[in-house]
Copies of this chain bind each other. A is one copy, B any other.
Amino acid sequence: MVRTDGDVMRVSDHVRQDRLWGRLMDLAKIGATAKGGVNRQALTPEDGAARRLLADWALARGFSIYQDAIGNLFVRRSGDDDGLPPVTTGSHLDTQPTGGRFDGAYGVMAGLEALEALEDSGIRTRHPVEVVAWTNEEGARFPPSCMGSGVYAGRYSLDWVCAIRDPAGVMVGDALSSIMVGTKEAAPRDFEAPIAAYIEAHIEQGPVLVTAGETIGVVTSVQSQNLFEIEIFGVEAHAGTTPRASRSDAVLAAVEVISTLEQLGLDGADALRFTVGRFIARPGAPNTVPSHVTFTIDLRHPDNAEIGRMSDLIERLPGEIAAKRRCRATVTRLSDSPVTPFSEAIVDLVDRTRKELGLAGRRMPSGAGHDAMYIQPLAPTGMIFVPCVDGISHNEAEDALPADLAAGTRVLADCLAELAGKAR
């Protein structure tokens, strides 16, 4: 919050629930699915249209826009001292193939609403305040996830990610060029440009807040997350004439790998998250012994030691099982994120602000990975969670209540104003 002459004037008083909700609904039209969800995968024409809409809203309000070479799109409200690094918020505009209306979009729209609330309040800040739409957070079309924030933070090289291909063979670099031209008036922004502080608002994507009847999750950390791609190579053969003893069946080898790893990952606390989300068998004909399988394992745990133990098994077992079945396996670790602790100062600020606003909430870790995880090494970082209906996310049925979304935005707006400092 920003205090003026003894009064308490809160930026959050200028947050408008109707404006925030209206923009979320406008955004949800881009890539809308028949079941009420959104399919706006990274670097598709739909993603480009969403970025353009954000740019139009920003420019209409007199904010300036920037983009870096991986397509991260920044909206800036100037501060009194524009030489200072910005206080930044944001999230992402891309979705899962059958994603919802709020995952990512909420964080960007909450950020834009906070900038508008600052503008409406007439308050000038010392630091500039920015909202960023990070490129390809989901990693659904092009793994790994958090590609834009990861490149921004120097975790991934631009060259490496640009050579990544989607299942249709399209490269990130080519898809990126066709998207970035849509916002070509954006001024350039360097990777790792300093950030004074970063707070990301997001739906929880899990059941904790909604079950407890609380409105604000003060996020203390993000659990560890490793993503693996496993390929099994066998030999095509005729399904009718080839005896089992002379088959090299890539699907059956992959099935044994997954089945074995699932069993080894069972834990009484149900803390390990083990997900095979992609499984592609080739050539894919019912009467040909399959010669090639690609599958992914998304592995998460709140404890670095536990994820390390399971990751070691994932590195080792596919090769052993494939060899036993006259196949060959490769294991590629596409991403590798240890537990990310957030800044105590930001966590305290968010928790204090939600109490001042009279909002029920709690401190909690994040089960999902977020761009904030990649920004954490660059700047004091934190996150604000709001509930989503039934804890459902990465699903077209994902939903959230307008009042909860506005509440999170009010906390965000006051925190940003506090961090950006009152201009003198």
- For A, the interface residue count at a CB cutoff of 8 angstroms equals 71
Given contacts A225-B240, A240-B369, A277-B281, 9 further A-B contacts (CB under 8 A): A97-B283, A97-B288, A204-B241, A236-B394, A237-B393, A240-B367, A244-B272, A275-B287, A275-B289
For A293, the chain B residues whose CB sits under 8 A away are 279
Taken together as a complex, chains A and B put the C-alpha atoms of A394 and B237 apart, in Å, by 6
Taken together as a complex, chains A and B put the C-alpha atoms of A281 and B97 apart, in Å, by 13
Copies in the complex: 2
Across the interface, name the chain B residue whose C-beta is closest to A262.
B252
Q: Which of B235, B242, B300, B395 contacts A273 (CB 8 A)?
A: B242
Are B139 and A287 in contact, CB atoms less than 8 angstroms apart?
yes
For A406, the chain B residues whose CB sits under 8 A away are none
Taken together as a complex, chains A and B put the C-alpha atoms of A239 and B288 apart, in Å, by 32
For A272, the chain B residues whose CB sits under 8 A away are 244
Closest 3 CB pairs of A and B: A206-B241, A241-B367, A240-B368
For A298, the chain B residues whose CB sits under 8 A away are 239-240, 286-287
Nearest Cβ on chain B to A161's Cβ, whole angstroms: 15
**What 1/0 flags go to A280-302 for Cβ under 8 Å of B?**
11011111111101001010100
Q: Which of B239, B270, B277, B392 contacts A286 (CB 8 A)?
A: B277
The answer to the question of A243 belonging to the interface, with a C-beta cut-off of 8 Å to chain B, is: yes
Q: Which of A123-159 contact B (CB under 8 A)?
A: 138-140, 143, 145
Nearest Cβ on chain B to A316's Cβ, whole angstroms: 19
30 A-B contact pairs sorted by A residue (CB < 8 Å): A96-B287, A97-B284, A97-B285, A138-B285, A139-B285, A139-B287, A140-B285, A206-B242, A223-B240, A227-B287, A236-B395, A237-B392, A238-B367, A238-B394, A239-B277, A249-B276, A251-B277, A251-B279, A252-B262, A255-B259, A255-B276, A277-B288, A278-B284, A278-B286, A279-B279, A279-B284, A286-B296, A286-B298, A287-B298, A289-B394
Are B259 and A139 in contact, CB atoms less than 8 angstroms apart?
no
Q: Which of B235, B255, B391 contacts A262 (CB 8 A)?
A: B255
Taken together as a complex, chains A and B put the C-alpha atoms of A98 and B10 apart, in Å, by 66
**What 1/0 flags go to A160-189 for Cβ under 8 Å of B?**
000000010000000000000000000000
